[in-house]
Amino acid sequence: MGDARAAEELGFDFVSASDHPCGSEPSYEVWTMLTWVAAATSRIRVATRVLGVPYRPPAMVAKMAETLHRLSGGRLILGLGGGYSDEEFRAFGLGVPTPREKVDGMVEAIDIMRGLWSESDFTYEGSRYRTEGATIEPKPLSPIPIWLGTYGPRALEATGRLADGWIPSLGFAPPERAAAMRERILSSGRTVECVYNVPFRLDGPAEGEGVVAGSVWEVSDRLAEFVRMGFTSMNFMPVGPDPRAQAERLATEVLPTLRPQTA
């Protein structure tokens, strides 16, 4: 909780958490944790990075999202994904969707959520999910932005057609691939915010693929390259010991030179 308050005090725009309920490493259920974060802060937005659609019925997520968005003062960013970890589905007895079913389910989930946020007696019949005369009240006071973490051709097409934002990870979509993916999304003609998940480490080794590491100037230059590619927002994940100190240095030594480039 202290990390979220510190992020708010440092001027970060949003704080996010991933959705991996199964595993041997200690973790918290993402929705419960972000509710706790929202209650302990006042300005910073809270984002799911990203919520695995197959874990929860979309109609229930629509209700959960409206409640958190309202009680947080309109600060929720609803990140969604098809769910890439087949091992987690299998471990929890949820069944393992095919890649096509994951994309279809993600699209249907968006249709259902937006339908419930805007209509009464909402009926929807999809291949994965359905509703029958469903109504949720109250409706959202302000739009709930949906960001998608997507990579494959069908999922990217759906992102360009439906999403408010696209949030790929550097490790899964390195710049040489991400540029082409972004073009595919924007070919829809819609405005889609492009947000890059970027692990970073200042004055230390990368210790793995997909980490931006080096001096303040090296990290700043690398992040500026991403801005020039069209990523006007980034989700920063500190790597290595003392992540809070890394976040503080990023906020005070790197972002002041980067923010003007994203305006």
Whole-angstrom distance, CA of residue 154 vs CA of residue 151: 8
- Give me the percent of the chain exceeding a pLDDT of 90: 94
What DSSP character marks residue 140? P
Structure tokens at 166: 């696209």
Mean pLDDT throughout 96-101?
Answer: 97
Identify the burial level of 127 via C-beta atoms within 10 angstroms of its C-beta, where 0-12 means exposed, 13-18 middle and 19 or more buried.
Answer: exposed
Has residue 104 got a pLDDT over 90?
A: yes
Sign of the CA dihedral with 141 first, then 161, 20, and 219 last: negative
Task: Give 164-205 pLDDT, tens digit per residue.
Answer: 999 999 999 999 999 999 999 999 999 999 999 999 999 988
Has residue 1 got a pLDDT over 80?
A: no
Structure tokens at 220: 């700043």
Task: Give 195-244 pLDDT, tens digit per residue.
Answer: 999 999 999 888 778 999 999 999 999 999 999 999 999 999 999 899 99
Give the global pTM: 0.97
Q: How confident is the model at residue 263 (pLDDT cuts 50, 70, 90)?
A: confident
Whole-angstrom distance, CA of residue 4 vs CA of residue 166: 23
For all residues of the chain together, what is the average pLDDT? Answer: 96
Task: Give 11-65 pLDDT, tens digit per residue.
Answer: 999 999 999 999 999 999 999 999 999 999 999 999 999 999 999 999 999 999 9
| Per-residue pLDDT, 205 | 87
For residue 107, cis peptide bond before it (omega within 30 degrees of 0): no
Identify the burial level of 63 via C-beta atoms within 10 angstroms of its C-beta, where 0-12 means exposed, 13-18 middle and 19 or more buried.
Answer: middle
Which CATH number fits the domain 1-154, given the four candidates 3.20.20.150, 3.40.50.300, 3.30.300.30, 3.20.20.30? 3.20.20.30
Q: How confident is the model at residue 262 (pLDDT cuts 50, 70, 90)?
A: confident
For the chain, which residues make up each domain, given as ranges? 1-154, 168-257
| Per-residue pLDDT, 177 | 97
